[in-house]
A and B are shown apart, each in its own frame.
Chain A
Amino acid sequence: MTFDLIAQVELRDRSGAGCVAENGFCPDWIADNYERYIDPFFEHVLLTVVPVGIGFAIAFTLALMAHRRQWLVGPITGVTGALYTIPSVAFFFLLQPLTGLGNTTAIVALTCYTLLIIFRNVITGLRSVPADAKDAARGMGLTDNQMLWRVELPLAVPELLAGLRIATTTTVGLAALAFLAGAGGLGAELDRLPSFKSNVVVAGGLSVLLAAILDLMILTVQRLVTPWQRASA
């Protein structure tokens, strides 16, 4: 769809100078104004990486707890599921009486959204460890802890990183609304000139690009840390 639009506007672009006034897609304007996107872009990176990092730490801990005590899975899924259901626009508002306007509100809300995704994937990963592998580990005399860190978790890595990828792309998208919590990011640029095509293409395009880059980075990590998967593929 995007390509369609770009092709469509390139035709119009020949008109040159009146481009901005005509609200076309203006490469010249973008070349002159690219600087205004640099700071928001890095704010956006921060608004993605920090929540995913904190969310991972919390969800991973919860998953390890629930792995030992399976009855915890239900309640934790329920609570994180409810948090995941609250619309982001509403969430950014509901938190403001507590945390005020700014980064804190955005980061708290965005962190909440990552919990369900990561928790669920870690649990699924741990559950899908083949019973044979666990039996063998047990037979070699590994303790519960050794088994967790040396057998179960390494085998759960692909599923775990799959969760991290979903959480990251989702957070990039949700962070585009973080400006409602006063946290800036690329969404704030969208909001500043919402109907100017060049602006929407650059700000929106950058957020899609960011999602793609982060996704590829995690995918690369996954390839590197799970060599056995490549061998079998």
Chain B
Amino acid sequence: MNTTLAFLGQFGDAVEFIFKERDSVGGGVQVGGLGEIGELGWTHLKVSLVAMAVACAVSIPIGLYLGHKGRGEFLAISVSNVGRAVPAVVLLFFFLAYVGNGFRNVALVLILLAIPPILTNTYVGTRQVDREVVDAARGMGMSGAQIVRRVRLPLAMPTIFAGIRTSAVSVLATATIGPYANLQTLGEPILSPQTYGFSGGLGAAIVVAFMTLVADAGIGLTQQAVTPKGIKLAEGPRRQRVRLGLPTRRREAAA
């Protein structure tokens, strides 16, 4: 009984930290409250958005090109394997020791982290478009660029978005360790318990978790919205998708 109450108490305290300012553990400074959480959250979001934008701008065109030409399968696939083997934390610490601190470096780490899932998924999505569909488009007189833009891209949309979703979640999660590189993200209260106390860390953890779940659900909805009607119809319970052993976050349709 006692433990249950204590447990609720810690969470209550953490929630209060999110909404109300308080003295820091060492005293002297005011910490917490919507003002500070908002500021940290904004930095968190900003660095994540920048990283996602750059990663999309780099990997979607490359993935489309490679997928369309049917080249570079090895590159597109091994990039994601290597990406998984080098953990985000290790990458961040490498950057920290060799390149330095700050917004730009954290963004760079996040970009490197976000590229593999988007690149691989774009490649796979583009590649798996039915040969016959592409032939039909060519027969109608479409040029290569038109085929990519008007046939391959729309049909690959759901897979591409699955990649974006995977990346966005890991980027938001990894931005949490930004304070190691001197970037004050929501990880700050988590990594500096000597100032913020345990409930500060817990409060920030709640905000980060919430933000990630919202981003995940939001991108999931967008994914639904950009899926061409034809695919939704064709996606019967038995439809098999090309899998490369990647945990795409896409929910299995019905079945």
Contact = CB atoms under 8 A, between A and B. Distances in A.
A89 B180 contact: no
A207 interface: yes
Contacts of A93: 190, 201-202, 204-205
A30 interface: no
Contact of A173 (B6, B88, B176, B240): B88
Contacts of B212: 85-87, 90
Contacts of B94: 2, 5, 200-201, 204
Interface residues of A, number: 59
A190 B89 contact: yes
Interface in B197-255: 198, 201-202, 204-206, 208-209, 212-213, 216, 240, 243, 245-247, 249, 251-252, 254-255
Contact of B251 (A77, A88, A172, A176): A77
A180 B213 contact: no
B179 to A, nearest CB: 10
Most chain A beta-carbon contacts within 10 A, residue among B86, B93, B169, B212: B93
Contact of A70 (B6, B172, B255): B255
A45 to B, nearest CB: 15
A127 B174 CA distance: 34
B187 interface: yes
Interface stretch (A50-58, A116-124, A132-140): A116-124
B107 interface: no
Contacts of B98: 5, 197, 200
A128 interface: yes
Contacts of B173: 87-90
B194 interface: no
B76 interface: no
Interface stretch (A32-40, A141-149, A208-216): A208-216
Q: Which 4 A-B pairs have the closest CB atoms?
A: A173-B87, A87-B173, A90-B205, A93-B205
Given A94-B205, A215-B85, 14 more contacts: A5-B98, A87-B169, A87-B174, A89-B176, A89-B177, A93-B190, A97-B11, A97-B202, A190-B90, A194-B97, A197-B97, A203-B90, A204-B94, A208-B85
